[in-house]
Structure 1
Amino acid sequence: MRWLVLILLLLPQVARAQNVATLVADHVTLSADDRLIASGNVVAFFDGTRLRASQIIYDRSADRLIITGPITLQDAAGDVLTADSGDLDPRLENGILLGARIVLDQQLQLAANQIDRRDGRYLQLYRSTASSCRVCGTRAPLWEIRAEKVTHDTLEQQLYFENATFLVRGLPLFWLPAMRLPDPTLDRATGFLIPRQRSTSQLGTGIKLPYFITLGDHADMTLSPYVSAQTRTMELELRRAFASGSVTVRGAVSDDTLQDDLRSYLFATGSFSLPDNYKLQFNVETVSDKAYLLDYDYDDKDRLESGLSLVRVTNTSLNELRFSYFQTLREVETNASLPPIIGEVRREARMQPGFGGTLSYATSIDTAYRPDTTDGSAGRDVTRAGGRADWRRDVILPGGFVATAQTGLRGDIYQVRDDSAYPGTDLRLVPSGLATLRWPLARQVGARQRVARHLIEPTLTLSWAAVHGASPPNEDSTRSEFDPANLFDRSRFTGQDAVETGTQLAAGLTWTRLGPAGGASSLTFGRVFRDRAQPDFTPSSGLDGTDSDWLVSGQYTTAGGFLIELRGLFDDDIETTRTDGRARWSNERLAVGATYIWQGRDQAENRFDTISEWTLDSGFQLTETLRMSADARYNVAADRPVQAGLGFTWQNECVTLAVSASRRYTASTSVDPTTTFGLVGSLSGFSTGRSAKGPAAQCRQ
């Protein structure tokens, strides 16, 4: 009969410390020579470690455990050690194991003729083999490391190899006298990361060798030398966490053959939580020349923004202070045309007054500054200070109608410098009113589990606004969007400088369907009618003239992962003003997406050519271990490709190998077309590759 629990006080010192070992076995006997013999399904527990064996003999006089295998030893961290036989102390901290194997974090296997366990911390493996690949019979694994000695520091989570040889399918590739690698349980440690090969038509074939440096528990840095025949580059990434926030810095310095001077870039971001729910954020973006980011594939931005903001958001208020500096990388644009320096302070709040509805109010000051002092738009500086108040109330009428009434008043003081076309200081008042009537109509079709829900909502909005006083320069409303989100708004300008004046009527219809299987459909169309044209709307906005273009927008999704979304602006002759759409289909093995955009020429928006572009992005799981990705961007209007890329990733339980090729066809006075090839590989089972774990290889008879 099995002994359920037998508690042994293995050492007087342990007993005094209240530490005991628990032993469970089929048979337990005590011999005349003061030996305790446990046999038959023996399990011993001590301080989070579990030991299984066929037989355990505790020699009290020698204070040793003599263990007969097969032995399985699992520690508190989940690491597993197996052996044929062993001789250990009762604490399982020191001793020898013969014919042993260790499995770390269920990934990395280390087999050895003998393992010495020292001080409960070190495992010393002699004539050892390490691999995270599945071993099938006598066939050599895909890769392995053979070493004369391996020391595993379980406290520092490091593996030290002596006289090590790296083999692929049993074929030696290289030898190292000593090597240190992190075990798969280590989160971070100073050392080299995965090398990356990069080959471009401009910079030639090169290699990046990242070196990761820990700077305490809350900071780290990665230095990545990038060397090729045409460049000597040092890349940097620095991360620092604080109790209330974090900072990240990325940058690089290059000495290459593309330009005579040193080239560099710096991107930095930070976010901190301050008392009273304030949040401080900053970002820095700067580059030495317009082509550097694209030449080295660091980023594809064509405008850089550096800024500082202080924000506090509550349920009823918003306080914000923001400063921004812009740097353009576009060939046809200058910093002064942006303008480069923007500052803004604003406060918004809302309340529920006693007479009903919602009252919202706001005050703000913003400025646009150009360092140039030339008279006119190239040097114009504008500062605006203003406030507004709006009252809104929603009422449900008989018959299911929903009515909304809104009224408001806005006042602004403008100060304009370095532009004689505008007065130095001027005042503007904008009263406004809005009334909306909606009639939601809902219906269910089907029965039981096949119910589809439909909602049709016709909407009419009548609004009015007038301007008294100044006609300031338009700095913040040079671009506009006309979409279902603002079809029934009083104004569709993005900023505060431009105002839609006069009386207008917006009419539209929205239909939504929720299918029984999880699919959904929606369709919106509408139009805006005005008593006067708005000169600040550009011809391609769809909003110029007294009558806007027809807005048509629809979306269709299925539970199987398919989505298609289309939006278009059409005039009375059904001629397209602007259109865009996207489609996506994804499942376990496939992900395909496509987008299309068409916009006509519009000099007011600095667009001198028609835009007509397709963008494709796809990923295919060809087999359990092989995945292909492809992307492309094609300029239909110019009948030429913009960029294209193709990549393959092969991944199993112990290896990840990725190859890629891309071509950027963009050409300008500062940027040349570039072809790039990339190669990167990693071994799973060590800290740098533990997150990439694919399907295990199958063993065949």
Structure 2
Amino acid sequence: MPKPILLWKLLLGLLWKLLLGLTLGLGGFGAPAMAEEPDAKSLFEKGVVFLEADQMFEDKEAGQYVARGDVEVRYKNRILRADEVIYVPEQNKVHAKGSVTVIESDGTVSFAEEVELNDDLATGVALGFFARLDNDATIGAASAIHSNAGRKNTLQKAFYTACKACMNEDGTPGKPTWRLRARKAVQNQDHHMIYYRDAIFEIKGIPVMYSPYFAHADPTAGRRSGLLFPNAGQSGKYGLYYEQPYYKVISPYSDITITPRAFTKVRPVIFADYRKQFYSGNVRIKGGITHERDFDSNGVRFGDDEVRGFILGEGKFRINSNWKWGFSAEVVTDDLLFRRYDINFTDETRGLFRNTSNRLSSQLFAVGQGEDYFASISAVEYQGLRAGDNDDQLPIAGPLIDAKKIYDDPVFGGKFTLGLNTAVLNRVDGINSRRASASLDWNRRFVSKSGIITKPYAMGRVDYYNIENEAFRADLGTTNQNIGRALGTAGAEIRWPWMKAGQKVNWVVEPIVHLSASPEGDGIDNFDVITIDNLGNVTRTSTSLLPVEDSLSIEFDESNLFRSSRATGHDVWEDGLRASVGGRISARWGNSGFASLTAGRAFRSTTNTGYTTGSSLQGKSSDYVAGVTFNTGAPLRFSSHVRLDPDSFEINRFDVLASTRLKKDKLGPLSKILHEVRSTVKYTTMPARATGGTALNELTFSSQAFFSKNWGVRFDMLHDFEQDKTRRTSLGLVYDDDCSRFELTFVRDNTVDRLLRSGDSIRFQFTLATLGSFGGN
């Protein structure tokens, strides 16, 4: 008979095998398989295996060795705990009983009531198996069998969920929000997949769906190819539809999702979403294609069969720590294709420039930024989706260059900034323009003993233009004009902040005056636009040689009140003497409380026809402008802007944006029925005289109210007061917890675009953590 100490060495070696076996086998649901370790007995002799128990003894009658009472085995960063561990030499078996726990080095924990493992690790059995995975999911079974030969784990009466199982108030185990239960589950460790037989999907313990076969990627795996959750629904435009996404892993750095969508009224569409990660960046390209005719809101098809589709792509790459380059591609064959197939093409901002409403752009750009410089070069091509858009009249822009270099060495106590800017715009039908500009800015900051802050500045700029305009021919005899101009301005901004510190609120009152002076005129000559009516009468209209390209949309408010120029580009120039007079009052309290009011008005010595009439900047005095901001953090955020006519004090623009998020403890009496409320409201009104066209008067409202921690309702609305029409309304039921989100929403859309009129729809979306989402209309 071997000596006791040698028997315990052997037992410890086998216990290490048990621990490793649990890691390789039954613990494989939570961790990747490990490589073979050195001989366990030699490891023990080196003193690296630790065994601790209340009792350790030999049972000669039963022919077994027993460690009992809070047994713990440690090797490196792995731990095995059990109430009792028994080794039977004749059977080469090791049993672990009672609250068996295996803790992996990555924190993954597996549990079982009882484990039996042979010493060659070929087979292992666990009863009452349960594992907590690193993604907060759990998997369990009445019994689990591990086989090293096929590297498979077989679970009987298995379940899987990503939900936390909480205890009920009476101490009984709670039911997870959802659970996948199966008669049998097999984990293939080589393929990193889990296959289920007779799978039942349960919600709160209630079976809602059955499938004889189901599979998903092993939680220890990365990306896996396979079918994703399908989507289905119905629309008056294309009838019933069903789409089945398929996800394909192409390489460790690239994948593609292919989604065929079939309809009952029209022909199918195939969508694709391709992604690839490079060392220096990434590319994502989405697209769709079909062969179909046009169809209206009722699914009535007309016109010719054509190949129709779209591409939405983007790539961004690092050149070095300061420079990057990228591109975007946005192209569609039909203006209404996105609306016909309910494709959201505005879900992402692709490229360097954000698109305006119903416009696509394809861009190529490079951007660099350091501590004292910024530079960008880009090219952009546009595609219009509006009813009146003519792509031949939209510009192809490029190269667009914007560069600035700051010189820190003081000159007259201030800093210089050197700027370079170019814009080249070409059209198939319309005006072509090319511009190059160079500028030099200087600014400085003084603070007097009395606290007056003065910021003097000066700026000089030269512009060179080449304009091709067919309208030149009648008056000038040519369609091409070269224009050069030199511009300059100087001025100062003067602020005198007064502060009053209180016990709870700190106040700052700040009068502000901004003064600017520039030579009169913008350096551009005029020409006569000659028109002849049906009676032969000739009309001459004097117009600037320079078309306004980069300052078409100018909004005058308190944010640009104290600037020397409100133009957003280079084409419009403010000349003469100018003054902006106003002030700001602000208050701060607590950790995040802030409120401010900014108001003022602008004056000038000359008129400026470069600005639109609605901007109030054409005349010698502007509207009154004011802006209010109020922020208490999450509970309430409020901002408002107003523009008032200086004579009648009528509103030329008014908008307000307010958002709130109130928890149960902030709801007062409503806390008896509400758990949380989140709301956002935005209101904007502008009369026709301020827009230069159609009046704007609309309200957007969005709110979510939760009646419990998980259940709530949401409401969204867009109402046009000018036409007395609610353009869009949605009302939905929401469930949200740690492992799932469900939304059931009724949507009424009254938007009309040519032959397409939206209607009513019911949408649902079900998202399951670790498994994916599915839904439909």
TM-score under structure 2 length normalisation: 0.80
Deviations 1:333-381 (A, max 9, x none): 3335543434312321111344320111112221111112xxxxxx210
Q: Kindly tell me: are residues 261 and 677 of structure 1, through their superposed partners in 2, closer, same or farther at Cα, counting changes over 3 Å?
A: farther
Deviations 1:31-77 (A, max 9, x none): 55884320111122346543322211223455431223343334445
Q: Kindly tell me: are residues 226 and 463 of structure 1, through their superposed partners in 2, closer, same or farther at Cα, counting changes over 3 Å?
A: same
Shift of 1:26: 0.3
Distance 2:634 2:734 in 1: 25
Structure 2 match to 1:192: 227
Alignment of 1:445-484 (within 5 A): 445-446=502-503, 451-466=504-519, 467=521, 469-471=523-525, 472-484=546-558
1:341 partner letter: A
Shift of 1:278: 1.6
Task: Work out whether residues 734 and 742 of structure 2, in 8 Å CA contact, stay in contact via their aligned partners in 1.
Answer: yes
Q: Kindly tell me: are residues 125 and 77 of structure 1, through their superposed partners in 2, closer, same or farther at Cα, counting changes over 3 Å?
A: farther
Structure 2 match to 1:430: 487
Distance 1:304 1:172 in 2: 43
2:463 to 398, 412, 425: 412
Structure 2 match to 1:698: none
Shift of 1:154: 5.0
Shift of 1:102: 4.1
Shift of 1:526: 0.5
Shift of 1:530: 0.8
Find the residue that maps to 1:290 and give its secondary structure.
coil
1:364 to 417, 421, 426: 421
Task: Work out whether residues 202 and 209 of structure 2, in 8 Å CA contact, stay in contact via their aligned partners in 1.
Answer: yes
Shift of 1:406: 1.2
Alignment of 1:65-104 (within 5 A): 65-89=94-118, 94-104=123-133
Moved more, 247-256 or 129-138: 129-138
Shift of 1:600: 2.5
1:669 to 736, 745, 754: 754
1:225 partner letter: P
2:138 to 93, 105, 108: 108
Find the residue that maps to 1:399 and give its secondary structure.
coil
Q: Kindly tell me: are residues 288 and 181 of structure 1, through their superposed partners in 2, closer, same or farther at Cα, counting changes over 3 Å?
A: same
Find the residue that maps to 1:215 and give its secondary structure.
strand
2:493 partner letter: T
Question: Within the alignment, does 1:397 sit opposite 2:452 as a pair?
Answer: no
Shift of 1:428: 0.8
Distance 1:146 1:404 in 2: 71
Task: Work out whether residues 188 and 687 of structure 1, in 8 Å CA contact, stay in contact via their aligned partners in 2.
Answer: no
Q: Kindly tell me: are residues 77 and 397 of structure 1, through their superposed partners in 2, closer, same or farther at Cα, counting changes over 3 Å?
A: closer
**Structure 1: any 5+ residue segments left out of the alignment?**
1-5, 373-378, 691-701
1:426 partner letter: I
Q: Kindly tell me: are residues 432 and 99 of structure 1, through their superposed partners in 2, closer, same or farther at Cα, counting changes over 3 Å?
A: closer
Deviations 1:494-531 (A, max 9, x none): 11011011111111111110023632110010111111
Shift of 1:411: 0.7
Deviations 1:174-221 (A, max 9, x none): 341x43222445443212223223333322332332222222222221
2:406 partner letter: R
Question: Within the alignment, does 1:222 sit opposite 2:257 as a pair?
Answer: yes
Q: Kindly tell me: are residues 91 and 443 of structure 1, through their superposed partners in 2, closer, same or farther at Cα, counting changes over 3 Å?
A: farther
Q: Kindly tell me: are residues 432 and 81 of structure 1, through their superposed partners in 2, closer, same or farther at Cα, counting changes over 3 Å?
A: closer
Shift of 1:534: 0.9
Distance 1:131 1:424 in 2: 72
1:240 partner letter: K
Distance 1:142 1:420 in 2: 70
Distance 2:198 2:555 in 1: 67
Question: Within the alignment, does 1:270 sit opposite 2:323 as a pair?
Answer: no
Q: Kindly tell me: are residues 129 and 432 of structure 1, through their superposed partners in 2, closer, same or farther at Cα, counting changes over 3 Å?
A: closer
Question: Within the alignment, does 1:611 sit opposite 2:611 as a pair?
Answer: no
Distance 1:337 1:240 in 2: 35
Q: Kindly tell me: are residues 211 and 48 of structure 1, through their superposed partners in 2, closer, same or farther at Cα, counting changes over 3 Å?
A: farther
Distance 1:69 1:272 in 2: 55
Alignment of 1:112-191 (within 5 A): 112-118=142-148, 122-130=152-160, 134=165, 145-154=180-189, 157-164=192-199, 169=205, 173-176=209-212, 178-191=213-226
Find the residue that maps to 1:486 and give its secondary structure.
coil
**Structure 2: any 5+ residue segments left out of the alignment?**
1-7, 18-37, 296-300, 347-356, 473-478, 526-545, 664-675
Find the residue that maps to 2:450 and give its secondary structure.
helix
Shift of 1:383: 0.5
Structure 1 match to 2:25: none
2:649 partner letter: I
Task: Work out whether residues 185 and 687 of structure 1, in 8 Å CA contact, stay in contact via their aligned partners in 2.
Answer: no
Structure 2 match to 1:695: none
1:69 partner letter: G
Shift of 1:293: 1.8
Q: Kindly tell me: are residues 635 and 460 of structure 1, through their superposed partners in 2, closer, same or farther at Cα, counting changes over 3 Å?
A: same
Q: Kindly tell me: are residues 261 and 674 of structure 1, through their superposed partners in 2, closer, same or farther at Cα, counting changes over 3 Å?
A: farther
2:377 to 321, 325, 328: 321
Distance 1:41 1:112 in 2: 24
Shift of 1:276: 6.3
Distance 1:264 1:241 in 2: 25
Task: Work out whether residues 201 and 676 of structure 1, in 8 Å CA contact, stay in contact via their aligned partners in 2.
Answer: no
Q: Kindly tell me: are residues 615 and 655 of structure 1, through their superposed partners in 2, closer, same or farther at Cα, counting changes over 3 Å?
A: closer
Distance 1:91 1:483 in 2: 79
Alignment of 1:266-345 (within 5 A): 266-275=311-320, 277-295=322-340, 296-299=342-345, 301-345=357-401
> Matched residue pairs, number?
671
Task: Work out whether residues 200 and 207 of structure 2, in 8 Å CA contact, stay in contact via their aligned partners in 1.
Answer: no
Task: Work out whether residues 123 and 145 of structure 2, in 8 Å CA contact, stay in contact via their aligned partners in 1.
Answer: no
1:399 partner letter: S
TM-score under structure 1 length normalisation: 0.88
Q: Kindly tell me: are residues 61 and 676 of structure 1, through their superposed partners in 2, closer, same or farther at Cα, counting changes over 3 Å?
A: same
Find the residue that maps to 1:294 and give its secondary structure.
helix
Moved more, 453-462 or 25-34: 25-34
Task: Work out whether residues 477 and 494 of structure 1, in 8 Å CA contact, stay in contact via their aligned partners in 2.
Answer: yes
Distance 1:77 1:652 in 2: 26
1:66 partner letter: H
Shift of 1:464: 1.3
Alignment of 1:484-523 (within 5 A): 484-516=558-590, 518-523=592-597
Question: Within the alignment, does 1:44 sit opposite 2:73 as a pair?
Answer: yes
Shift of 1:452: 1.0
Structure 1 match to 2:285: 249
Task: Work out whether residues 620 and 629 of structure 1, in 8 Å CA contact, stay in contact via their aligned partners in 2.
Answer: yes
Task: Work out whether residues 194 and 681 of structure 1, in 8 Å CA contact, stay in contact via their aligned partners in 2.
Answer: no
Distance 2:442 2:567 in 1: 20
Find the residue that maps to 1:284 and give its secondary structure.
strand
Distance 1:350 1:657 in 2: 53
Q: Kindly tell me: are residues 396 and 23 of structure 1, through their superposed partners in 2, closer, same or farther at Cα, counting changes over 3 Å?
A: same
Distance 1:127 1:570 in 2: 73
Find the residue that maps to 1:540 and give its secondary structure.
helix
Moved more, 491-500 or 227-236: 227-236
Structure 2 match to 1:699: none
Cα RMSD of the aligned pairs, angstroms, is 3.0
Distance 1:131 1:517 in 2: 41
Deviations 1:433-492 (A, max 9, x none): 11221111111122xxxx311111111111012346434221111211212222111110
Distance 2:636 2:721 in 1: 25
Question: Within the alignment, does 1:584 sit opposite 2:654 as a pair?
Answer: no
Structure 1 match to 2:405: 349
Distance 2:772 2:335 in 1: 34
Task: Work out whether residues 766 and 773 of structure 2, in 8 Å CA contact, stay in contact via their aligned partners in 1.
Answer: no
Task: Work out whether residues 626 and 651 of structure 1, in 8 Å CA contact, stay in contact via their aligned partners in 2.
Answer: yes
Distance 1:341 1:400 in 2: 47
Structure 1 match to 2:728: 643
Task: Work out whether residues 453 and 515 of structure 1, in 8 Å CA contact, stay in contact via their aligned partners in 2.
Answer: yes
Q: Kindly tell me: are residues 123 and 563 of structure 1, through their superposed partners in 2, closer, same or farther at Cα, counting changes over 3 Å?
A: same
Distance 1:35 1:679 in 2: 60
